[in-house]
Chains A and B, each alone.
Chain A
Amino acid sequence: MRRYLRIVLLFARLEAQFELAYRTNFVFDLLQQVVITATSLGAVLILFSYTETMNGWTLPAMIVVVGVFYIVQGIGDLVFLPSAQQLIEQVRLGTLDFVLLKPLDAQFFVSLRRIKFTAIVEIALGVGIVAVGFAKLGTLDLLAGLLFLITLACGVVLVYVLLLVLGTLAFWFVRVENLLVVYEAFTDAARFPIDIYPFWLRFAMSSVVPVGIAVTVPAQAVSGRLDGLGVAAILAATVGAVAFGRWFWKTGLRSYTGASA
């Protein structure tokens, strides 16, 4: 375990060196992130200038949704998405051979190898927005706070498994980098609670592409809209997803032939 932690830190240091080589671009990326977050907060404020509640969601609860959206998306952008992109590229070029030869778990390596540091700003902005939402919500009891953290962790894991599965598809279909567009497009829709969407979209975002529940459920937990059944469901779904992801990765790996050989 300590060994794996040390390796993650090593990845982080490598990536930091790489990122700091392009400093102006880095600053622009940061600026852009601030603008993006401000516009989507602005959009929510415009919507709520016409109403008090939206499908039962109050403005503070909605602000929490926006914050959670940026936390979840930010963690995806920080490591899982860039790592999945790299995995797909390595499968196509056959350089995954070198990963498989390393004396550590390959799934660990391909899941955490790339780190995009600008996404930390996204996460930090998300945390800030959630804090504002909490303050506006008023009293927040310990249980709700705890449930928020647990469901948020589940949401992040669900997003991770989704990206791992999308990346693993490369073993069979090789050119799947465009499939990640599917993830990005659906993630975009997670900025609002999924219960406002028509049935087909709600269904997609809570099953095949679970980014919807990953964002909505934690926000439900703090606005008192989550019951025990909901908690049990997301926990079960997360455990199931992790097991499925592991199995899917192993199955995929078996059909990898090493393009360079």
Chain B
Amino acid sequence: MIRVYRALLLAQLQVAAQYRLSMFLYLLFSIMRPVIFLAAWSAVALARGGSVNGFTPADFAAYYVILTVVQHLVTAWNQYDFELQVRMGQLSPRLVRPLDPIHYAIAENIIWKSFTFVGILPVLAVIVITYGVQFHFALWQIALFIPSLLLAASLQFLISWAIASSAFWTTRTHAVSSLFDRTSFIFAGQIAPLSLLPGVLQQVAYVLPFGYIFGVPTDILRGGHDLPTSLVLMSGQAVWVAIAFVASRIVWRFGVRAYTAVGA
């Protein structure tokens, strides 16, 4: 398996090297969104005389800087790509290879995320300077952040894979994917830190998987939770990863049988 992955990663690296410019243009998106809501929340904080429930503009900036990093490393986009592969029949040659197509997607995620990560750093530096952010990380926060980030990335990836696999029946999953993205836009901590969401919305965020995707790792690193709460939230992440894993396997198993190879 290690040899297989080395080959897959190398191939993806070569693809990534071809599309350098367009990749950095797409980064604009992952940077713009957090800046928009950071600016809005800072304006609200200033209007209230300096803070919203303990969040000063610098705290919001710290939150959104970390959120941008988390979002960048966690977000999977395979469902968009996969729809095209099913619709165009490009998936067929991959299915006859002795390797589950999910591994191609995993390798692709690892390479593209790390490759483009460099690109967002300068912009984040500008935000840090503009808003005078100061980070204070306790050692346990960093220690928990990394596994929490990995859980979040797995969760997002598995959900996107399950949605992608539904393309075997529906061929077009674009609308479903964007619906999911829009819902997570509210509940995952993008328009507001989860603790600032009004009551019901906050409960929805923690009951459904959304909050565990971006909000939980961000809050752990930012210091929004104490140690016991963080551990509870991380077990929540683990539960959802398990559910998403089983679901994505089931959808895949049945989906492949329904696949009729469009265009073949």
Contacts and interface: CB of A to CB of B under 8 A. Distances in A.
**Does B associate with A?**
yes
Interface of A: 25, 28-29, 31-32, 35-36, 39, 42-43, 46-47, 49-55, 178-179, 181-182, 184-186, 188-189, 191-192, 196-198, 200-201
A50 B44 contact: yes
Nearest to A194: B39
B36 A47 contact: no
15 contacts: A29-B175, A35-B182, A39-B185, A39-B186, A46-B192, A46-B197, A178-B26, A181-B29, A188-B36, A191-B36, A192-B40, A196-B43, A197-B35, A198-B131, A201-B35
Interface string B166-201: 000000100100110011011000011000111001
A94 B29 CA distance: 30
B39 A196 contact: yes
A198 B32 CA distance: 12
A178 B192 CA distance: 29
Given A189-B36, A192-B39, A198-B39, A32 B179 contact: yes
Contact of B198 (A49, A51, A53): A49
A51 B185 contact: no
Nearest to B130: A198
A185 B28 contact: yes
B187 to A, nearest CB: 10
A50 B196 contact: yes
Contacts of B33: 188
Contacts of B43: 54-55, 196
- Please give me the 8 A-B residue pairs with the lowest Cβ-Cβ distance, nearest first: A28-B175, A185-B28, A178-B22, A43-B191, A196-B43, A55-B43, A51-B47, A54-B43
Nearest to A62: B40
Interface residues of B, number: 39
Of the candidates A32, A39, A185, the one having the most CB atoms from chain B within 10 angstroms of its own CB is: A185
Contacts of B178: 32
A211 B251 CA distance: 42
B13 interface: no
A contact face: mostly helix, strand, loop, or mixed: helix
B202 to A, nearest CB: 11
Contacts of B52: 50-51
B186 A188 contact: no
A29 B131 CA distance: 38
Contacts of B196: 46, 50
Nearest to B172: A25
A197 B37 CA distance: 10
A178 B25 contact: yes
Contacts of B44: 47, 50-51, 54
A99 B92 CA distance: 38
B48 interface: yes
Given A36-B182, A46-B192, A51-B47, A31 B175 contact: yes
Contacts of A182: 25, 28
B42 to A, nearest CB: 7
Contact of B40 (A28, A42, A47, A49): A47
A51 B47 CA distance: 7
B1 interface: no
B231 interface: no
Of the candidates A178, A179, A184, the one having the most CB atoms from chain B within 10 angstroms of its own CB is: A178
Contact of B175 (A32, A51, A53): A32
